[in-house]
Each structure stands twice: as structure tokens, then as C-alpha cells.
Structure 1
């Protein structure tokens, strides 16, 4: 047997090909490849914690390019997107207070439009989600996978390879609309009833003074000048940092509520991101979005979001839009048909109080 040595670039290209992607158009550190790596690692490691899965992928990809600027936070952001759409499922970890565990999402699909199907879930042990019998190749766009099939035969072919259809109504389930002040008040009442927290290890908060246009830059350590209620994350001995709501007085934690509280099966980030959107809106600094024109023949605009949104809002975006490469400053971007952009803006305003740039001073 002849062993042929590979340099880092060649090894990275072969890895991308093994993930089912086009190595001539996609590099190992693209969103598509990172998400494919998370799915593949999850297929072998799940059930596992979010932190363990992120570390496994980070270790694997950085070994091929030590000069890469890829960060743990970036990989964790991609994992959040996969959880939001259901490729992986995050549930409470039995016997561990506040702990969360990842499981493989069931192989399934949602009909975006006749002939267009969003693929979801992960099979164990690296098995492909669909095979050649389907008659179409998977299209990878950002963190999503989709198929285009003749609508007359699609349901039968997808069923034949074991994919379960998720009805649009179920896919789009979301909380009832509330005004932002009511959401903030409900969470503050929970803190009023919470026991004294004492010292909280590894606590980071979303600072109210930071710009809503730069989500990552909003995270910081508590300062002596901080007093109030904050969305936060705290470390734990094993697993990913936990989401929580914390009451701070002069920089010292006084009370803490771990998230989620309304639905234990939901990711903690869903409640955290909606609550932060409410806090920002009540403070008169609502989160923002931008609608810009794109160089596409159909004239579809691109929607840029500067902060993350809960999974139920993410699923709405996946159904009506197509994820595209984000521009500088945006956290996520979608190309959206002109026919639905108005409806989408109303949904984001009603549910998350997000304003379009230019609507406020």
C-alpha cells in the first residue's frame, strides 16, 4: 500500500468533498462546510452537549489550518442555527440542573413551495440524508439544505427514503404576540420570586449601552456601575454556557433564573433573544434590520439582521427566504421574494419589535 502525504490545503479540499460539498467552490471554513462538519460530528457523537460538539469540530478543522481565524463563538453560532431549524434537537439533560443535551433531529422535510423542499435532520453514523433514488442533488446554502423535485413525485420519493413531512402550520408555530413591556415585566416578576443567587461563575451579560448593530460586541463582564436585569450566560462545569436572566446591583449578582422557563424543551437562547429584543424596545433602542437591493434578475431584496432571532422566527425566514452570504455588519442575511417582504417585516415587528433602519433616529 502506498501512502501519499497531503499538505493542509489538499487535506482540507478532500474533507470538503467528503462532506458532500463542491471543493472547487467551497472552503472548509465556509458556513456550508462548518455546518456540514457539525452535522457529521453530531451523527457520531450525539447525544452530547453543545460544548463538546463545538470543541470536536473546532479541533478537527483547525488542525488542517493552524493560521485560521475561526473561533469557538463562530462555530457555536452555526450550531445555534442548526438547532433552530431542527437538524439537531436540544433538550434538558436528565439529572443535571440546567444542563442541555443535543440529539439528532429526525430526517424530515418542509415544503417551501411546490417543487422546493427544505431538508432537516441527521442520520446516525454519517449516513446520507437522501440517496440517488430521489433523483436530485442536495443544494447547500449557508446552514440549510434543500432539494428541487417534480412536485408530482416528490412526496412519494422523499417518503421512500424515510423522510417525514412536517406541515407548514406546525413548522411555523410561534408564541402569541405581546407588547415588549409585558414580556420584560413577566421575566422581572420571575426574578422577584427567585432566591438569592450568590456568586455566579463565568457570568457575561449583554450590555445595554452597546450598539444593537453589533451583537458580538454587546457581550461583556458585569461592571460595578451595572444595576438592573440583564440577559446573561454563565459557565458550567460540563457543557456549553447556560442562558439566564440575572439581577445585578452595583455589579454584584443578586438573583438568577436559568432559561428556558416557559418551555423546558426549547433552547434557552429562544427565550433569551426574544427577551433581549423586548428589553431593547422598551429602552427605546429597538433591534434593527436592513432591506437592500441585490443584483438578481428577479429583483428579490436581501434582508440583513444585526442580531440573532429565536428558532421560531428563524424557521419563518427559512420558509420564505434563502440564506445568503452576509455583508459586513450583518449577523444573518436572507434573499426574500418581493411578494413576501412586507409580510415578513410586519411579523418581525409584531413578534420581536424589530424596526427597519431609517424608521428611528
Structure 2
């Protein structure tokens, strides 16, 4: 048996090839596409698994392949978040009969499926066991990796959807994939959650409680999070620590004498993630207080860019993905670039569904 010594770049290319990527296009460096494929394969092996277990497994596997200046951990976290947002991987609450589940909220692979986009391309979602990208053998050459996402780009009016259906993939309707909540006034949304909170018992404030404080428009999102002060009262989106895992999202009504009512945030049937519920409540609280969160639209000919300064729920990101492309933010948290003809509808959607205001 011959032993071949590989350079780091050669090792990256071989790993990429084993994960279904064109190794020659990786330039010998870790990329979101490679990390995304590694996360899909690891999920098919480990699921149901806790998020931190999946991140740790992939991080430890890929760390030796990173260049000296690479920070593999944050890349794994960012790519996993994208896969969950676009429902390529599913974040779900465990049930009582799942003896193998290692946490209350676990990650699972989505079933092989696809969603059509307005530009004619098709987003491929899910895995099929060891087959990370379950598409017909003659189509991988037409597969484009946009970050961690996989898009099939048809030639002219080629009917790709029937071929994928014949191969066993399920076409998801826009309604089924987006899972948009109903449109309602911000005050009504806050009151519904406040009603649930009033039914909760009063107890001592948990130690280490972080609350998202009201602030003037334009303040960075991360700067809004601070420890609850002694004597502070009111209704807040909060995060409370738990013994293991990430802090839990919750809604708190801080009472005098260091007491509080608390409800943890999640939706029935896993239709919404806890953070999605929390971000929507915070947007409603801000709008009700006359400090609605803002977005900015920058038209440039036939293309427009919408900038966001705070995170938005994953269902809103999925809608924007159907018409546009997410980009790193310039003077904002992140942006979506799209055709100017589509931007008007998305701006209206943001105003009506998330109570945002447009910044001039």
C-alpha cells in the first residue's frame, strides 16, 4: 500500500470531492459550500442531535483543514444557521418517546424536496441518507452552490421540476415552505402573548437574565441586550440561562421585589423557532411603543438592495430568498439584493407583517 502525503489544499479538495463538490473549484480552502455539505452528512448520521453536538462534530472534523488564520467554529455556526433558516435542516422539539434524543430541541435532516424561485432556479433541500444531494446523475453539473445553499439552474424553459418529482423529491408549495403567520396589528400580537404571560405564576427572577431593552431607533441590536437591573419592571423579550446549552428565549413581565412572570417562547407544532417568535414579539413591542424597527431600500437601476439592522424571523428570510439573494451587510446587519420590480412587494410585506418602517 502506498502512502501519499497531501498538502492541506489537496486534502480540502479531496474532502470536497467526497462530499459531492467539484474539488477543483474550492481553491484548496474551506468554503460555506463544503461546510454545508459536511453538516448535511453529519446530520444524517447523528440525528436527532443537539445543535451543539452537530457543530462540535463538524468543527473538530474540519479544523485541521483550515488555514492558520481560519476560525472554523464561526463558519460552522453561520452555515448551520442558514441551513435551518431555509429548512434544509430542521430544528424540532423532541417528543417524550424519543429515547435517542439528546436535547429538548434537536436537529434533523429534511426530506428530499425542492422549491421553485421566481428567477426559474430551484432550491434543492434535504438529504437521502448517504446521498447528500439527491438529484438525477446528469444534473450535478448544473448545480450551483450559493454559500451553503444548492440551486439548480435550468437552461431556457427546461422542465426540471417533473424530473425531480420522478426521482422522488417532493415539490414544496410556497405556502408550505414559507409558513407565514397571519397578518395582524402589532398591538394585537403583543396582547396575545401578554395574555399567556398573565396566566403564568409569579416567581423569583432567574439569575443571569438578559433583557432586550427599548431604545432609540438606530441602536445596534447587540447593544440592546443587558442584564435586568434591580427594581426594573415591565414587559421584555429575554434570555435565561440553563444548565446545558444556549440560553432559552422567553418573555418576562418583571415585577417589583425581584419577582417575575416568565413564559418560554416556542410555537405549537414547531412551525416557528423560538428566536423567530422572540424577534417578532420585539418588533411588535417596538412598533407599539412608537419606536418601530427600520429597514432601508437602496435602488440601483433594475436591482435594489434591502438592508436590515436587526434579525428578522426565518419565515421572512425564506420569502426574501424566493426573489433575492442574501449578502453581507454594509453599514447594517445583512442585506437582500433583488430585482427592483420585486422590491416594492417585499417592502410592503415588511411593513405589514413585521411592522417595520422604511428609513430614508
* TM-score strictly above 0.5: yes
**What is the 5 A alignment of 1:131-150?**
131-134=136-139, 136-150=141-155
Determine the structure 2 residue equivalent to 1:291.
297
**In the superposition, relative to structure 1, how do residues 350 and 3 fare at CA in structure 2: closer, same or farther (>3 Å)?**
same
Is residue 2:124 matched to residue 1:119?
A: yes
Deviations 1:108-127 (A, max 9, x none): 11111474212112232353
Per-residue deviation at 1:26? Answer: 6.8
Measured in 2, the distance between the counterparts of 1:145 and 1:92 equals 26
Determine the C-alpha separation between the residues in 1 that align with 2:81 and 2:257: 29
Look up the SS of the partner of 1:177 in the other structure.
Answer: coil
Give 1:9 shift.
5.0
2:329 counterpart residue number = 327
- Which ranges in structure 1 are unaligned for 5 or more consecutive residues? none
Q: Distance in 2 between matches of 1:21 and 1:226?
A: 56
Q: What is the SS of the residue equivalent to 1:336?
A: strand
1:147-181 CA distance string (max 9 Å, x none):
11254431232123321111223334411111112
* Alignment CA distance shift 1:202-1:92 (3 Å): farther
Which residue of 261, 283, 287 maps to 1:281?
287
Query: RCO (CA 8 Å, sep 6+): is it higher in 1 or 2?
Result: 1
Deviation (angstroms), 1:201: 5.6
Greater alpha carbon shift after TM alignment, 134-143 vs 80-89: 134-143
- Counterpart of 1:52? 53
CA contact (8 A) 2:237 2:278 kept: yes
Aligned match of 1:191: 197
Structure 2 residue 272 is the aligned partner of structure 1 residue 266: yes
Mapped partners of 1:322, 1:149: distance in 2: 18
Q: Residues of 1 paired with 2:209 and 2:59: CA distance?
A: 23
Give the match for residue 93 of structure 1.
94
- Tell me, yes or no, if the aligned pair for 2:216 and 2:291 is still in contact at 8 Å: no
Distance 1:35 1:246, change over 3 A: farther
Length-normalised TM-score, structure 1: 0.84
Paired residues, what number? 353
Note if contact 1:91-1:266 (Cα within 8 Å) is conserved in structure 2.
no
Give the secondary-structure state (helix, strand or coil) at the position aligned to 2:202.
coil
Shift of residue 207, structure 1, vs aligned partner: 3.2
Verify: 1:305 aligned to 2:308, yes or no: yes
Q: CA RMSD in A?
A: 3.2
| Counterparts of 1:253 and 1:10, CA distance in 2 | 59
Distance 1:220 1:32 in 2: 35
Cα-to-partner distance string for 1:219-264 (whole Å, 9 max, x where unaligned): 3433336422222233334444332112234794612111114554
Whether contact under 8 Å (2:87, 2:125) holds in the other structure is yes
Q: Give the equivalent residue in structure 1 for 2:44.
A: 43
Matches within 5 A, 1:13-92: 13-19=13-19, 20=21, 24=25, 30-65=31-66, 67-69=69-71, 75-92=76-93
